[in-house]
Amino acid sequence: IGDVDAPGGAGAAPAEESGAAMMMQDAVIVPEPPAEEAPMGFAAAPEDAGAEPIELGAPVPAEDGMDALPEPEPEEPTGPTPMSIWNDEWQVTLKDRKDAENAKKAEVIEQANADLEAFQAAREAKREARMATNRSDEQEKLEALEADLENDNSWQKVCKLVELSQDSVEGGADTKKMRDVMIFLKNEPSRATVLSN
């Protein structure tokens, strides 16, 4: 099939000798059948065909005796459908669950508040006890300082400041003799005054 610009152009096929006209449709050439002959052995269509509408008659009854099935009548809903009943029950179940959840939540919140109050009370009691202990310890230390100021033996003050009960550390200097001297001077105030003069 070649390019066709116009009938009779360069790509046009030669006309047949039978006189049939050539028809072009989407770049395809279709020859028309001769008018005097019926195509493929069929009778020619009447000339007034298509002028009047074709009327169809009543349907032919079935030969096996079965009539056409009647159309089902739409049923009127007489009550709630099973789906709506289930939905209603489900909504009730959900509401019950939500109520139970809210009750449990309120109970847990109440218990948490009670626990928090108990914790705060215990904490406050512990704090008060610690403050009382600190006050008494401070009072004892102040009394000990005043007693040391009144004491004439300075070696007794030194012994209070030095840890005398600890053993010497392994690999460290041996301080046993120094401890013995301090204890001796603390216990013998007369010797301490002789050494300090």
Instruction: Report angle CA 33, 36, 40 to the nearest 5 degrees.
Output: 55
Contact 156, 186 (CB under 8 A): yes
Higher pLDDT, 174 or 96: 96
- Average pLDDT over the chain, rounded to whole? 75
Q: Dihedral sign, CA of 46, 49, 54, 60?
A: positive
Query: Model pTM?
Result: 0.37
Report how far residue 52's alpha carbon sits from residue 162's, in angstroms, rounded to the nearest whole number: 136
Q: What pLDDT does residue 37 have? A: 53
pLDDT at 184 exceeding the cut of 90: no
Average pLDDT for 73-98: 89
With residue 114 as reference, give the H or E element that holds it: helix 82-150
- Lowest average pLDDT, out of 32-36, 102-106, 134-138, 182-186, goes to 32-36
Which of these, 191, 126, 118, 116, lies nearest to 155 by C-alpha position? 191
For residue 28, give the DSSP letter.
E
Q: What pLDDT does residue 20 have? A: 42
Instruction: Report angle CA 80, 82, 87 to the nearest 5 degrees.
Output: 90
- Lowest average pLDDT, out of 17-26, 35-44, 54-63, goes to 17-26
pLDDT at 157 exceeding the cut of 70: yes
Which of these, 124, 130, 185, 194, lies nearest to 159 by C-alpha position? 185
Higher pLDDT, 82 or 24: 82
**Residue 93 confidence class, pLDDT cut points 50, 70, 90:** very high
Report how far residue 180's alpha carbon sits from residue 155's, in angstroms, rounded to the nearest whole number: 12
Q: How many C-beta neighbours within 10 Å does residue 192 have?
A: 19
Contacts 24+ apart (CB under 8 A), 143-150: none
Average pLDDT for 2-30: 49
With residue 30 as reference, give the H or E element that holds it: strand 28-31
Percent of the chain scored above 70 by pLDDT? 59
**Residue 44 confidence class, pLDDT cut points 50, 70, 90:** low
Q: What pLDDT does residue 32 have? A: 67
Report how far residue 196's alpha carbon sits from residue 190's, in angstroms, rounded to the nearest whole number: 10
Q: How many C-beta neighbours within 10 Å does residue 185 have?
A: 20
